[in-house]
Structure 1
Amino acid sequence: MLDKIKELIGDVQAFTASTQNEVEAFRIKYLGSKGLLKELFAEFKNVTPDARKEFGQSLNSLKKAAEDKVAKLTDALENTTSKHSFYGDLTRPSEPIELGSRHPISLVKNKIIDVFNRIGFTVSEGPEIEDDWHNFTALNLPEYHPARDMQDTFFIEQNPDILLRTHTSSVQVRYMEEHTPPIRTISPGRVFRNEDISARAHCIFHQVEGLYIDTDVSFADLKQTLLYFTKEMFGKSKIRLRPSYFPFTEPSAEVDIYWGLETETDYKITKGTGWLEIMGCGMVDPNVLKNANIDPTKYSGYAFGMGIERIAMLLYQIPDIRMFYENDKRFLEQFKSVI
Structure 2
Amino acid sequence: MIDKIKDYIGEAQSFSTENKEELEAFRIKFLGKKGVLNDFFAEFKNVPNDQKKEFGQVINALKNAAEEKVKSIVETLESKEETKGVFGDLTRAAEPVIVGSRHPISIVKNQIIDIFANIGFNVSEGPEIEDDWHNFTALNLPEYHPARDMQDTFFIQTNPDVLLRTHTSSVQVRYMENNKPPIRTISPGRVFRNEAISSRSHCIFHQVEGLYIDKDVSFADLKQTLLYFTKEMFGKSKIRLRPSYFPFTEPSAEIDIYWGLKTETDYRITKGTGWLEIGGCGMVDPNVLKNCDINPDEYNGFAFGMGVERIAMLLYQIGDIRMFYENDVRFLEQFKSNI
The TM-score range, normalised by the shorter chain, is 0.7 to 0.9
Paired with 2:113 and 2:211, the residues of 1 have a C-alpha distance of 13
3-state SS of 1:101 partner: coil
Partner of 1:121: 121
For residues 284 and 105 of structure 1, the distance between their equivalents in structure 2, rounded to whole angstroms, comes to 28
| 2:193 and 2:204 in contact (8 A); partners too | yes
Query: What are the residue-to-residue correspondences of 1:1-339 with 2, within 5 Å?
Result: 17=19, 22=21, 24-25=23-24, 27-28=26-27, 77=77, 80-81=80-81, 83-84=83-84, 87=87, 90-339=90-339
Q: CA offsets, 1:262-317, max 9 Å, x none? A: 12211111111110011100011111111111111111110000000000111111
CA apart distance, 1:25:
2.8
Q: Residue 94 and residue 301 in structure 1: after superposition, are their counterparts in 2 closer, same or farther (change >3 A)?
A: same
Q: Match for 2:222: what amino acid?
A: L
Q: Structure 2: which amino acid aligns with 1:301?
A: G
C-alpha RMSD over aligned residues = 3.1
CA offset at residue 131 of structure 1? 0.8
Identity %: 77
Separation (CA, whole Å) in 2 of partners of 1:16 and 1:243 = 88
State the 1:95 CA deviation: 2.4
1:98 Cα offset (Å): 2.2
Gaps in structure 1 of 5+ consecutive residues: 1-14, 37-69
Per the TM alignment, residue 82 of structure 1 is displaced from its structure 2 partner at its CA by: 6.9
Deviation at 1:27, TM superposition (A): 4.3
Partner Cα distance (2:151, 2:127) in 1: 18
Report the alpha carbon displacement of residue 32 of structure 1 after superposing the two structures with TM: 8.0
* CA distance, structure 1, for counterparts of residue 28 and residue 104 of structure 2: 69
Q: What's the offset of the Cα at 1:216?
A: 0.8
Structure 2: distance between partners of 1:331 and 1:194: 26
Contact kept in structure 2, 1:108 and 1:311, CA below 8 Å: yes
- Given that 1:212 and 1:301 are in contact with CA atoms closer than 8 Å, whether structure 2 keeps it comes out as yes
Relative to 1, partners in 2 of residues 1:84 and 1:193: Cα closer, same or farther, differing over 3 Å? farther
User: Structure 1 residues 88, 336: CA separation in 2 closer, same or farther (over 3 Å shift)?
Assistant: farther
The one-letter code of the counterpart of 1:17 is N
Which AA in structure 1 matches 2:284? V
* Distance of 2:75 and 2:103 partners within structure 1: 51
Question: Letter of the aligned partner of 1:235 in structure 2?
Answer: G
SS at 2:125 equivalent: coil
Contact 2:109 2:308 in 1 (8 A): yes
Per-residue deviation at 1:97? 1.6
Counterpart CA distance in 2 for 1:326 and 1:16 is 56
Q: How many residues align?
A: 299
